[in-house]
Structure 1
């Protein structure tokens, strides 16, 4: 669905990371883990994950890693964005029972979609734990927001904040029934092997069209086939994909 978003606010939340709050043209419920394809100027659209949804307000959080995201980060209140979405699937929160022990694991810019996911799970009475991984202290964001929802552990690769090391340094597989994760492929590949019964991975991938037409974001499956990250995902059961 195509719609025009209006910028409400913009702020820097960490080094190189921008939070953009926009007003939806058509308010709607959005499953956590889905994304929007945003266009700024004549450039290709950029897939941006959704960090929060509040009726007609939608929050994006992204890193400035190129011209497109740099232009998004320069937008001001009342500027508009040509948006396509929400696209893709989301985390299966309706299938998670309040008695199940859930851990959400995010790495870097894979953290934002897990915030809305945890918000919705907690609202359903599910007790959650979050493990958030960053490179260094200056790249940490949303720590307090996650802590307000449940137990949260932050790890940094260089040990300048929280637990030193990668997210696996804080993971206790025997303590969880469900794993929900989003982050870089090496992190997801490691989590894929963890002995947790139910594992769902949100894959970060380069996208072209965002609707499954261009085959720019395919991912291999164990049977030798392919799935499209944008339309079949970005969330998959861990056993459905080869990373």
Structure 2
């Protein structure tokens, strides 16, 4: 069930350059059903900015009724969010998540690019709890934007790539997968569209799930601002309600 709640801000910290970790507390957490879902946040009480901001849920704890969000402060709304210290208006949980219950095999590879990394953390925790060996390939622009490396290392092996070569493997996530000959039974990916297309092409021999990054308006499927092209008779789907997670092969790239 989707709720709108003023959630208490328990902690907010800058964990990398312009990357913030936001911990919230409230009963909305009880409604989260799977990793990979997101929330829509009203960043202040005024009407500027008017639209809510979609932010992925990085992790959650239903017993403590807390959830952690990680976001990049890059625009008016998210920069304003960094100034919030008391409570915040949250709508969610929204969208479909990563289906970890139906995953088959023994090894999963999780692939994230930039701000697409956060939703993979809860996914990794749940896969590990189900007995999977988890491998993480995380891509960033530079060393100063890398975050959560040690958190992911506590769950499984981690391979970092940076576009400028300042840390880890020089290049993209696909370069690391190739260089280290990483093998898995299933993959989970979240990041920019070009990255997702490249990952699907590279891992065409195993099943997988991808989470689509897209600009959104309402977040509930009414405004059609986040429509994407898909294979099949429907032709189009809404990222906010039909996604953001899709099965490999559903999306049309380019």
TM-score normalised to structure 2 length = 0.91
- Say if 1:146 and 1:217 are closer, same or farther in 2 by CA, change over 3 A: same
Does the aligned pair in 2 maintain the 1:19–1:61 contact within 8 Å? yes
Does the aligned pair in 2 maintain the 1:176–1:196 contact within 8 Å? no
* Alignment partner, residue 220 of structure 1: 229
Root-mean-square deviation (CA, aligned residues, Å) is 1.4
Per-residue deviation, 1:179: 1.0
* Alignment partner, residue 7 of structure 1: 9
Per-residue deviation, 1:3: 1.6
Name the SS of the counterpart of 1:58 in structure 2.
strand
* Alignment partner, residue 153 of structure 2: 147
Name the SS of the counterpart of 1:44 in structure 2.
coil
1:101 matches 2:118: no
Alignment partner for residue 37 of structure 1, among 33, 40, 47?
A: 40
In the alignment, the residues of structure 1 paired with residue 242 and residue 194 of structure 2 have an alpha-carbon distance, to the nearest angstrom, of: 21
Equivalence map 1:1-243=2 (5 Å): 1-28=3-30, 29-41=32-44, 42=47, 43-55=50-62, 56-76=65-85, 79-97=86-104, 99-172=105-178, 175-194=183-202, 195-223=204-232, 225-243=235-253
Name the SS of the counterpart of 1:197 in structure 2.
coil
Per-residue deviation, 1:228: 0.3
Deviation >2 Å, runs of 4+: none
TM-score normalised to structure 1 length = 0.95
Name the stretch that deviates more: 108-117 or 33-42. 33-42
Per-residue deviation, 1:222: 2.0
In the alignment, the residues of structure 2 paired with residue 111 and residue 174 of structure 1 have an alpha-carbon distance, to the nearest angstrom, of: 18
In the alignment, the residues of structure 1 paired with residue 29 and residue 185 of structure 2 have an alpha-carbon distance, to the nearest angstrom, of: 33
Does the aligned pair in 2 maintain the 1:179–1:196 contact within 8 Å? no
Unaligned runs of 5+ in 1: none
Name the SS of the counterpart of 2:249 in structure 1.
helix
